[in-house]
Structure 1
């Protein structure tokens, strides 16, 4: 497998990335019409962490982490490294030593469709990671791949420079061209949620706030007293 290392790809605007970091994955995902979410099998090795950054991508051969070494050189302040393989792989391609090098360069985290290891050390050093597996299985450095090319992780196409947003709920990708739109939509969604939260705090029901009583009636869902339910034999 030959490959290419692309240098200095365009990235989403830094101000948009920082603004998106103020919102959770669920909020941005809903705000963009429920798009951009990666597969739920990608889970964080830590809890209580939210990061947003621009994607630097690495495409590796299964069981081979050579191109992660190459990708580290292309990473900088505010980036998130995104690692994919050419076919499924759960080996531990990434660990504490890689995290040390990336942390030194200001990288905000890792998202990988493969496995990681040294999870205790990763948590201790505060380097956020979302992965499809945890595995102590080691790797080699023998096959060429690519850096900063489009990759697929968690069923989602990710381009270098896209915004990656990750927290306890999962990982999503905001295309670079939609970063400003995402900021505006997420802010509007957050304002709406805050208003709803205040209404629920005051005791309003979702059935009334969202007009769901009409929906229930339209779907033929009826209210019955317990006596009526039992009398008609439905509760036996």
Structure 2
């Protein structure tokens, strides 16, 4: 498998990343029109952690972590490693030694749709990881691949320099050119949700705040008392 290692790709700015880091994955995903989510298979190795960083992407052969070694050299402060394989793999391609090297370089975490291992050590050292699998199965270092090329995870394209936001709910990618706009929309959505939260605390119902009573009527949903429903169906319910 021939490959390429691309150096110095364009990236979202640190200010844009810092702004997006304020918001949860669900907020950013919704603010971007329900796009960018890297699927439901990626689960966090830790809890109560939210990170954001610029993607350094890796395309590897399954069961081979050679290109992760190559990617470490391309990683720097504020980056987040994104690893996928040319075909499905659950092998433990990433562990504590990789995390040690990356943390020293200022990398904020890893996202992979393959497997990780040394999960306890990763939590202890505070290196966040999101993966599709956990496996003690090791890997080889024998096949070429690519670093800092566009990759696909969960049906979404991740390019080097795009913003990755990850928390307990999953992982979302924000295209680098749209990072500032995504941050603006996320801020507006958070402000709107704060107002809704305050209304709910005062007892308002979502049916009224969102104007959903008309929706129920339009869909033909009826209100009936228990007695009316019993007569309608001919039996208790």
TM category (shorter chain) comes to over 0.9
> Does the C-alpha gap of structure 1 residues 90 and 165 become closer, same or farther in structure 2, counting only changes over 3 Å?
same
**Residue 145 and residue 204 in structure 1: after superposition, are their counterparts in 2 closer, same or farther (change >3 A)?**
same
Shift of 1:136: 0.5
Task: Tell me the secondary structure at the aligned position of residue 232 of structure 1.
Answer: helix
| 13-22 or 150-159, larger mean C-alpha shift | 150-159
Alignment of 1:82 with 2:70, yes or no, is no
Cα displacement (A) at 1:235: 4.5
TM-score normalised by structure 2 residue count: 0.98
Separation in structure 1 between the aligned mates of residue 151 and residue 219 of structure 2, nearest angstrom:
43
Per-residue deviation, residues 84-123 of structure 1 (Å, max 9, x unmatched): 1111111000000000000000000000010000001111
1:141 corresponds in structure 2 to 141
Q: Is residue 214 of structure 1 aligned with residue 214 of structure 2?
A: yes
Gaps of 5+ in 2: none
Deviation at 1:152, TM superposition (A): 1.0
1:23 is matched with which residue?
Answer: 23
The aligned counterpart of 1:56 is 56
Give the number of equivalent residue pairs. Answer: 236
Deviation, 1:231, is 1.6
Instruction: List runs of 5+ in structure 1 lacking aligned partners.
Output: none
Alpha-carbon shift at residue 133 of structure 1 (Å): 0.3
Structure 2 equivalent of residue 127 of structure 1: 127
1:65-100 deviations in Å (ceiling 9; x for gaps): 000000000000000000011111110000000000
Q: Distance in 1 between matches of 2:137 and 2:225?
A: 59
Q: How far is the alpha carbon of 1:154 from its aligned partner? A: 2.3
Q: CA RMSD in A?
A: 0.8
Q: Deviation per CA, 1:137-186, whole angstroms, max 9, x where unpaired?
A: 00000111111001112221100000000000000000011101101100
- Distance of 2:232 and 2:204 partners within structure 1: 32
